[in-house]
A and B are shown apart, each in its own frame.
Chain A
Amino acid sequence: MSELNDIIKDENIVLKKSPVLTDNVMHYCPGCTHGVVHKLVAEVIDELGIQEKTVGVSPVGCSVFAYNYIDIDWVEAAHGRAPAVATAVSRLKPEKYVFTYQGDGDLASIGCAEIMHACSRGENIVVIFINNAIYGMTGGQMAPTTLLGQKTATTPYGRDAKLNGFPLKITELLAQLDGTCYVTRQSADTPGAIRKTKKAITKAFQNTRLEKGVSVVEVVSTCNSGWKVSPVKANEWMRENMFKKYPIGVIKDI
């Protein structure tokens, strides 16, 4: 024990929590991807030195309390409306870095019109899109991105295209719009993937200063409690199934 205390000293610290991340205990389930992505957003804000210049817009969904964890000014939007809220913040405070943080239900279902038109207008904002193919907060119902055959509380026998429609590849749609400058799909399941996601988030925030339009970073994510598997199994299931429908990589970069 005394040996360990000898090691835990300031001069030996190689990595520490970003000061932009608050000390609040996260409400997320163990194994949830939100915590990792929150950490990445906080680190990017810290490293770019833009804490005073950043305004976040949080969604309705599991990450509704994102404002408890990242130490910046926040606007909590109504379900799906974050891109409209961010549009106004960005236009009225053009010197700010404005981002939305949205889940698949928020962005791809109820907020489909708002995200499409914010992207179509080319608003100078960043969109962080967490796609875990399920509604986590309300207890595991079908999301627009739920895979065919995937069981949820409202597709208890598996998503059936005839009954429930098809999974929506919203990110590919957004890439088609003239107002998006950077659209990428990443994940956060391995250290390598996390590094790539962080790079993508950094690039997205840098695009704001270049006034290039909307940058969209989708993070294909897990919801082990909603999917009803262990965190390890969730990552395996995501790689086997989600990545086929939602392939990882840059979709648009201009």
Chain B
Amino acid sequence: MAEVKLMKGNEVIAEAAIRCGADGYFGYPITPQSEVMETLMVRKPWETTGMVVLQAESEIASINMVYGGAATGKKILTSSSSPGVSLMQEGLTYIAGAELPCLIVDVMRGGPGLGTIQPSQSDYFQATKGGGHGDYHLIVLAPATVQEMNDFVELGFDLAFKYRNPAMILADGATGQMMEKVELSEQKPRWTEEEIQKMSGDWATLGKTKNRERNIITSLELEASRQEDFNIKLQKKYKAIEENEVRYEEYMTEDADYIFVAYGTSARICKKSIQELRKEGIKVGLIRPITLYPFPTKPIAKFADKVKSFMSIEMSAGQMVEDVRLAVNGKVDVNFYGRMGGVIPTPEEIVDEFKKTI
């Protein structure tokens, strides 16, 4: 019988990490996600599953601890919010460059700068386009419910290890702070040393044995042509991710004349707006990207031949809308409505703004 609880999104991240057999968490407190580490410290998983939990001196240190931990082939995660994730960008590009699997949870707040502690979606560019230097991508999952906060921890680790690539859960402060009913996952054991050896023994720093070459975790290559070869290999991996891992939800799209595109909290609000619009006979549907990278370009493009216009609704100045426009490729109008600075749009104002476009 599955365990059902009423929990905060942030607390669920911690619970899901323990239950999926994560080996380590390294983090630094920042609002609105501090409950992740607080929950872990209360749960003391080092006494039960053996999971390591450590409060680092900064986000710079915590992401580099993730780098070191991931180098040992174990399941390592961190969590933070926008300003902290900015600090992590150096570590993230090294992790991507060294092809290490790990999970980063970003519970977004408004910026720029110290900004606000209220929910926002203004780090879409940073999350989906690389964020640090060099040509790389994170796999980015966007939960809209507390249940998805639970489910995406394991999914994030699965994808990270499948592609040896960092994965990110890109939530917003509302999903982190909101309490909802959640069906928790079953407790799984952590991987044994033998399992890690079998799975990652050809690259992880498990200690050099006589029968193999030393394993070196690095992103350094001074010779330009060899670095380019590595870049080509990375791009092949991203291509495979784009082909195989696109996830999205369609809501009332079958008869839709118009399509909203929104993720996370914005998508939930859009569902209410769509219900209101349909009462008036205006047929709007929703495409909710679940993976922001890889972006559901093809599903959106498919609707570009059927509908009159699109509207991207975000808690930002308009970031994802660029990817929607690339997918639609000029076939119909792509409009945008967003609120910034931690303001959450109401279903009514989305309805009003949409009506101005038709």
Contact = CB atoms under 8 A, between A and B. Distances in A.
Given A81-B60, A114-B64, A75 B217 contact: yes
B90 A72 contact: no
A230 B243 CA distance: 58
Interface string B208-238: 1110001111111000000000000000000
Looking at chain A's contact residues, the main secondary structure is helix
Interface string A75-101: 111100100111111011100100000
Interface residues of B, number: 38
A216 to B, nearest CB: 18
B61 A92 contact: no
A113 interface: yes
A92 B24 contact: yes
B60 A113 contact: yes
Contacts, number: 123
B214 A88 contact: no
Nearest to A70: B214
Given A85-B64, A92-B24, A52 B209 contact: yes
A55 B207 contact: yes
B260 interface: no
A197 to B, nearest CB: 24
Interface residues of A, number: 32
A203 interface: no
A89 B91 CA distance: 15
A117 B26 CA distance: 14
Contact of A74 (B56, B61, B217, B219): B217
Contacts of B205: 55, 73-75, 89
Interface in A42-90: 51-55, 57, 64-65, 67, 71-78, 81, 84-89
A92 B74 contact: yes
A81 B217 contact: no
Contacts of B219: 76
A19 to B, nearest CB: 10
B23 interface: yes
A96 B90 contact: no
Interface of A: 51-55, 57, 64-65, 67, 71-78, 81, 84-89, 91-93, 96, 113-114, 116-117
18 contacts: A67-B214, A67-B216, A71-B208, A71-B214, A73-B206, A73-B214, A74-B214, A74-B215, A75-B67, A78-B90, A78-B94, A84-B65, A88-B26, A88-B72, A89-B69, A89-B71, A92-B23, A117-B57
